[in-house]
Structures are given as C-alpha cells and as structure tokens.
Amino acid sequence: MILLYLIPLFLCAFSLLKKKEIDFYFIYFLSSVIFYYTIFLGFVFHGRLSGIIDYKTTIDPITYIVLSINLFITFIYLRKGNKDHYRIKIPQKGEKFIMKIFIIIVFILSIWLGKKYGIFSFRDFDKGDLEDETSVLGAYFKYMALFNFIYIIVSERIHYSFIWKFLGVFPALTTYLYGNRSYIVIGIIAISFDFMYRQCRQQNYTIVQYFAKHKIYVISALLFVAFTFIIKGIYYALFAGDYDLVTYRLTSIEFYQQVAMVSEPNTIMMNLNTIIANNYYVFPSTYLSLWAFFIPFMTDAINDLMGIPKFTFIFQHDLYASEGVTNRASTFIGETYANGNVFMLVIVVTLFLTLLGYFFKKYKNCESNITKTTFLLAGIDASFYIQRNSMYFEFSRLRFYFYIFVLLYLLMILYRNYVSYK
C-alpha cells in the first residue's frame, strides 16, 4: 500500500522542481508529510515518553488511500499556484504609533501574567489547568504576542529600533513557558516563509534552486523540526525540577528513539488510523456550526445551542476513554473521514486549499504591514498546524487573528480622526 502513497508524493515533489515561488500550498504539503511520516513505518506506536511502549498497530489500508487522496488534491493546487505579483507594503498613517502602544500593552501583560501565575519560576504545572486559570485573557495574550512577534520582524519600509524589537519578541518567547510550542513555532515558520518568499522573488529562483543554493536553511529547518519534538520531553522534566531526568534524556540515545516513536506525528497518525479502523462516524456533523465563526463572540453559544459536538472531544471520548489513553491532539484528515468518508475528504480538503489560496493572494496583494502580518499568520497557521487540529479549533485560532486585525485598524482610524480634529 505504501506504493499507492508514493505516487502522489513523487508527483508533488516533481511539481516543486519547476515551482517558482513558495506558497501556503507548499507549507500544507510539508505539513501533510511531516505529521504523517509514520506511514513509511507501516504501523503506529502506543505509549508515552514517561512509560514503556506497550504495543504497535498496523496502519489500515484505507488510511493509505485517504492520505494518498489528500496528496493528490495537494498536487493539483501545487501545480495551480498563484500568478499575482507581490506588492511592496507601505506604512499606514498612525501605524507606528498604534503598534508601539500595542506592543507595550502586550509586553506589560506578559510580565503581569508571568508573575501572577508563576510562569517565570519554572514551576511544575498541568498545561490544561493553566489554560483554565488564565482563561480568555491568557488565550488572547498568546495570539497578540504571536502577532507582534511576526509583525516586528516582517514589516517593510518601517524601522523599529532594537528595544522595540525586543519588546515585540519577548512576549512570544514566554508562551513556551506556558507549555505551548505552537505559537513560537508558527512565528518562526511565518518569518522564515516571508524571508524566503521575498528572496526567491528578488533573485528569480525556483524553490528547489533556492534551497540548493542555501543548504544551511534546509539543514536548519530539519534540526528545528526535530528540536520541537524533542524539547517537549525535556522542558516538562525541567519545570518539574527533575534535573536527573533532564540530563538522562539529553544524553540517552534511547530517549531520542522513543521521541521518534511516540512524538506528535505518531499520535496524529494513531488518531487517524483509529478513526478509519473503527469506521468511526460522527453525528451531527461537526462542520454544521462553522458558519457561527462569522458572528463575533457568539460562536460557542451558537454551537452549544445547536448541540454540535466538538470533534476532538467527542472522538477521544468515543474511541479512547474506555482505555484511559486520551490525548490532546486531533486530526484534520480524520475529521473529514468521520463526517462523510472519502467523499467529505475530497470536498473539505479542496475547500480548505482554496481558502489557503485566498490567504496567500491577500498576503501578496495587500498594501499595509498589519494586513500582511494578519494573512501571513493566518496562512501559516492554517497550512501547517491544521493537520493536528479539528476544523472548529483551527477556525477559532483564525478568528483571534482577525479580531486583532480589526482592533488595530479601528485604533488607527480613531487616531487619525483625533489628529485631524486636533
């Protein structure tokens, strides 16, 4: 069955040989390969870093078919690309003043939250409990910190001194102390994407030509991916004050082998394979309330009123609760299959890639740095992290980014009116 998967994989790889620009389809392709790399092993492992690997399960043949279809659709969009020209971004009136105020507020918030919840003391904590403690304010802080991190680095034709860059970057770094890797990872990928895109455009390189000339970037990217999987097992032990365990894991070959076996991609593949092997079907469809994200601050209430289950919780409860081995990861591909088998997979993946195309077009064609940051952030988050999330959770993340976008533009409008009136 692996041969079936290799056909669209090689088609995608072949299309990259002539592809002239990096885009969000490319990031989605990388995400599909990285988060399901255990397909090459033919089985998934069961267990955790803190325990012995109990057993492994053979990957279901239909899982190969499902992931192959996902890559076939990706190949079509990789070939399609986007022919619009990139527009140089121009600072907007009042942008620098408003962004400085926003950066200061987020920086102060990072210090206050860090002291209030003991984040800087490296105390041991449960990430879920901490999210409940910090509530909505903690969630908004992480997204605002991520926005500032990307904005302060990728802005064009507007200069910020070193101190302002520090104030913009520091809050994003503290999100690691909350046990969240995704924010800083998305930030680094977004910044790298913007840098490579503009370099390819200026030097008229294809993606392959660019990577061939800058091999250090490829090596650094691979090391960064490995680091994000390895660090989880280290910083939890560090926060718990178990320094002997930290030393053991850093110096033990067995630890690195175990990370490869039970890392996040293995968990996501296990979720997908379990859904398919059990022919799991969710009713009512978890997609029915997605329209509610267009109604600010009412989404959860509408979702609860409609009685629509949140996919991650419902499938974890139905398939894992009896075994006591639930995990916090989801699976985008698994959710499509659970909502309507292969038919729904084709529809949802096609629509989602179309959405990524829209984000990329806006990233290229917009005129302001705030708009650029918003669509860059939304595109990278959606294209890279969707494989580990449910659609509901991904839409909730995108909603935060556009809330920040609207807030900043409203503040700029108020500032311009104030200056004009004065």
User: Residue 43 forms beta bridges with which residues?
Assistant: 58
In this predicted structure, what is the pLDDT of residue 89?
Answer: 82
Give the contacts of 264 (CB within 8 A, at least 6 positions apart): 35, 229, 232, 329, 388
25-39, 108-122, 372-386, 401-415, range with the lowest pLDDT: 108-122
In this predicted structure, what is the pLDDT of residue 48?
Answer: 65
Q: How many domains does the chain have?
A: 1
In a domain, 414, yes or no: yes
Please tell me the distance from the alpha carbon of residue 31 to that of residue 387, in angstroms, as a whole number.
Answer: 7
In a domain, 63, yes or no: yes
In this predicted structure, what is the pLDDT of residue 241?
Answer: 65
Give the contacts of 243 (CB within 8 A, at least 6 positions apart): 237
In this predicted structure, what is the pLDDT of residue 134?
Answer: 58
Model confidence over 227-277: pLDDT tens digits? 766 666 676 666 666 667 777 777 777 777 777 777 788 889 999 999 999
Segment of 12-21, 126-135, 390-399 carrying the highest mean pLDDT: 390-399
In a domain, 168, yes or no: no
pLDDT above 70 coverage of the chain, percent: 86
Give the contacts of 99 (CB within 8 A, at least 6 positions apart): 148, 151, 370, 408
In this predicted structure, what is the pLDDT of residue 174?
Answer: 85
Residues listed for the chain: 422
Model confidence over 32-74: pLDDT tens digits? 998 999 999 898 887 665 554 567 889 999 999 999 999 999 9
In this predicted structure, what is the pLDDT of residue 406?
Answer: 94
Model confidence over 293-338: pLDDT tens digits? 888 778 888 888 888 888 988 898 888 876 666 666 889 999 999 9
Q: What is the mean pLDDT of residues 370-398?
A: 94
In a domain, 345, yes or no: yes
Q: What is the mean pLDDT of residues 134-149?
A: 86
In this predicted structure, what is the pLDDT of residue 253?
Answer: 75
108-117, 121-130, 211-220, 252-261, range with the lowest pLDDT: 121-130
Q: Determine how many CB atoms are found less than 10 A away from the CB of residue 224.
A: 13
Q: What is the span of the domain harbouring residue 322?
A: 2-88+265-421
Please tell me the distance from the alpha carbon of residue 31 to that of residue 45, in angstroms, as a whole number.
Answer: 20
Q: What is the mean pLDDT of residues 340-356?
A: 96
Q: What is the mean pLDDT of residues 178-198?
A: 87
17-21, 60-64, 393-397, range with the lowest pLDDT: 17-21
In a domain, 204, yes or no: no
Does the structure show a pLDDT above 60 at 132?
no
In this predicted structure, what is the pLDDT of residue 76?
Answer: 94
In this predicted structure, what is the pLDDT of residue 271?
Answer: 92
In this predicted structure, what is the pLDDT of residue 75?
Answer: 95
In a domain, 287, yes or no: yes
Q: Quick check: 409 and 370 in contact, CB under 8 A?
A: yes
Q: Quick check: 388 and 266 in contact, CB under 8 A?
A: no
Does the structure show a pLDDT above 60 at 129?
no
| Residue with more model confidence, 132 or 95 | 95
Could you give the C-alpha distances from 250 to 122, 173, 254, 327, 376, in angstroms and in order?
19, 22, 10, 24, 35
Please tell me the distance from the alpha carbon of residue 388 to that of residue 383, in angstroms, as a whole number.
Answer: 11
> What is the phi-psi region of residue 259: left when phi exceeds 0, alpha when psi lies from -120 to 50, beta otherwise?
alpha
Q: pLDDT averaged over the chain?
A: 85
With b for 16 or more beta-carbon neighbours within 10 A and e for fewer, the 263-275 pattern comes to bbbbbbbbbbbbb
| Residue with more model confidence, 267 or 346 | 346
Could you give the C-alpha distances from 286 to 63, 272, 407, in angstroms and in order?
21, 16, 29
In a domain, 227, yes or no: no
In a domain, 308, yes or no: yes
pLDDT above 90 coverage of the chain, percent: 45
Q: What is the mean pLDDT of residues 362-382?
A: 94
What does pTM read for this prediction?
0.89
In this predicted structure, what is the pLDDT of residue 121?
Answer: 62
Q: What is the mean pLDDT of residues 137-161?
A: 92
